[in-house]
Amino acid sequence: MTTSNLRIACVMVGLPARGKTYISQKVCRYLTWLGINTKVFNVGNYRRKLYGAQQEHSFFDPSNPIGIKQRKESANAALEDMIRWFNEDQGIVAIYDATNSTKQRRQWLHEKLTKEHVQVFFIESICQDESIILDNIREVKLSSPDYVNIDPEEAVSDFKARIDHYKDQYETVTEQNYTYIKLINVGSQVIINMIRGYLESRIVYYLMNLHTAPRKIYMSRHGESMFNLQGKIGGDSALSPRGVLYANKLPDLIKQNLGDKELIVWTSTMKRTIQTSGLLQYPKMSRKALDELDAGMCDGMTYEEIEEKYPEDYANRDDDKFNYRYKGGESYRDVVLRLEPVIMDLERQGNILIIGHQAILRCIYAYFMNYNQEDLPYIKIPLHTVIELTPKAYGCDEKRYKVDIEAVDTHRPKPNKAQTLKKKVSKQELSNGATNGNGALLGASGEIVNDIGSPILPISPQLWPSNGATK
Ligand code: ATP
Ligand code: F6P
């Protein structure tokens, strides 16, 4: 078994309104950010497409034969698509989002998937707190296509009746030969069984860090630095006079938005972020992992100087900015890898302000806002602007506060593909077709700088029993 044919299906389990879709979306976002091909298959969407939305609760009654048949057909259509996706689109992790609340349903899924050499990982969410369930119904179910134009109180009571139908047949996961995690009362208790392999344990660790308490995530770059003014990248310069003005204004801006609520501040270990945090009266922590992308040999140069001195590197970066690694420095891919523990820690936090750098904040922002790797290095994170993210059920709301102090613009737009191609051809002519034989471009030192398409996490190879069953 090689790393490339490791395939995992995360099968959600739980009564309605237990956060299964929320968890599915979060896991999908996290793994996609790490470059792992992940997709959610939501059986409810198949049901609505095949048989229409707005089915009332009796559709979910376990003694309703038409409902049973149509729900099974919806489950089957989602499963078939999922298997097709694994086989045709090189899927690595699929998330099968449905209640899967009976042993019989789980056995059916387990058999079908193991036959296809897909490992099955059940993720069960149990919540006994009725007030959380009611909040969940009000927050997400009333706006679902199932309840368009329905009076909210009627919708709540119909949804509760739907939950009761599921309760009649719900069997919690006890199958000892299955791989599973049970999250009880939003993770206040966690039970795991038969977790195998690196990727499954990463998912377990990620799930253990999640919480749903309301909070704000603020992000700001440092105030304008002397290097920003001179158009130079990297370095460890101090703030410019305008950067100092920004640092002076930052505490009021945060206070106006947050009031007296608690906040912690993270900075990098670089002068410009620490200086920017200087007047903030909150607990602070500087983290090396938040230091700006290391530009290696190009550190301290302007983009124009890089283009002149290292034209090949300059063109390579434009060609694939996410994967390009500065000689002696880092790529955006490297930065995502070093930020992974920061993301885990961020998930555990309450209100937080991160004072960071352009490339670093692009990576963190991309995680929360679901940007792909190609667009990530071009996200606009201007100087003298605070970005406020408020996590919501299936994503984040965003506000930006621009402080009225001028600053240089350090954003370089994405070059047009035709131009990059032209440059790349002449660059290849120049280097006399220097490739590694597989077409991958070599850096001037002969190092392969692109490992395009491979996941960022080292996924350990996994032995799969030859009969395809776990026991
Ligand atoms: P359905 O079966 O109807 O699709 P669901 O289980 O998928 O329901 P979601 O739509 O994901 O439920 O519910 C979203 C809500 O669940 C959000 O408001 C979120 O805050 C909350 N939530 C997230 N995680 C959990 C959890 N572990 N336990 C309970 N609620 C949670
Ligand atoms: O220009 C400011 C800066 O933070 C540099 O130190 C860093 O190299 C650069 O931005 C990262 O942005 P890009 O990846 O667009 O070059």
- Which one, of 388, 372, 360, 343, lies nearest residue 453 by Cα? 372
Amino acid at 95: I
pLDDT of residue 318: 97
Q: Please report, for residues 291, 346, 348, the alpha-carbon distance to residue 269 in angstroms, rounded to integers and kept in the order given.
A: 6, 18, 22
Residue 358, ligand 2, Cβ within 6 A: yes
φ, ψ of residue 32 in degrees (nearest 5): -65, -40
Q: Is 3 helix (H, G, I), strand (E, B) or coil?
A: helix
pLDDT of residue 469: 28
Q: How far is the CA of 251 from the centre of ligand 2 (A)?
A: 25
Q: How far is the CA of 300 from the centre of ligand 2 (A)?
A: 11
Question: Beta partners for 119?
Answer: 8
The label of the residue with tokens 């709301």 reads 397
Residue 356, ligand 2, Cβ within 6 A: no
- Around ligand 1, the residues with Cβ closer than 6 Å are 14, 16-23, 44, 99, 125, 127, 132, 136, 139-140, 183, 186, 212, 393
Long-range pairs of 252-255 with CB within 8 A, sequence gap ≥ 24? 253/386, 253/401, 253/403, 254/218, 254/280, 254/353, 254/386
Please answer whether residues 223 and 238 qualify as being in contact, where contact means their C-beta atoms are separated by less than 8 angstroms: no
What's 89-137 look like in SS3?
A: CCCCEEEEECCCCCHHHHHHHHHHHHHCCCEEEEEEEECCCHHHHHHHH
pLDDT of residue 417: 75
Question: Beta partners for 126?
Answer: 184
Ligand 2 atom at shortest distance from the alpha carbon of 298? 8
Cα separation of 438 and 325, whole Å?
Answer: 19
pLDDT of residue 462: 34
Tell me if residue 384 is catalytic.
no
- Which one, of 307, 255, 258, 305, lies nearest residue 280 by Cα? 255
Cα separation of 131 and 36, whole Å?
Answer: 36
Instruction: Quote the tokens at residue 368.
Output: 């929360």
Q: Is 220 helix (H, G, I), strand (E, B) or coil?
A: strand
Tell me if residue 129 is catalytic.
no
Residue 383, ligand 2, Cβ within 6 A: no
Q: Is 451 helix (H, G, I), strand (E, B) or coil?
A: coil
Instruction: Quote the tokens at residue 135.
Output: 């909040």
Catalytic residue among 110, 165, 222, 357: 222
Which of 291, 357, 373 is the best mutation target for the ligand 2 pocket, counting ligand atoms within 8 Å of the beta carbon and taking the most?
357
Tell me if residue 211 is catalytic.
no
Cα separation of 299 and 293, whole Å?
Answer: 10
pTM of the model: 0.90
Please answer whether residues 147 and 54 qualify as being in contact, where contact means their C-beta atoms are separated by less than 8 angstroms: yes
Q: How far is the CA of 92 from the centre of ligand 1 (A)?
A: 24
Q: How far is the CA of 410 from the centre of ligand 2 (A)?
A: 7
390-430 tens-digit pLDDT: 999 999 999 999 999 999 999 999 998 766 665 654 544 44
Q: Which residue's alpha carbon is nearest to atom 28 within ligand 1?
A: 186
Cα diameter, the chain: 75
Residues of the chain scoring pLDDT < 70: 1-4, 418-471
pLDDT of residue 432: 38
Buried b or exposed e, range 83-97, using 16+ CB within 10 angstroms: beebeeeebbbbbbb
Q: How far is the CA of 371 from the centre of ligand 2 (A)?
A: 18
Cα separation of 289 and 269, whole Å?
Answer: 9
Q: How far is the CA of 231 from the centre of ligand 2 (A)?
A: 10
Cα separation of 205 and 207, whole Å?
Answer: 5
Q: Which residue's alpha carbon is nearest to atom 31 within ligand 1?
A: 19
Cα separation of 286 and 265, whole Å?
Answer: 8
Cα separation of 312 and 296, whole Å?
Answer: 15
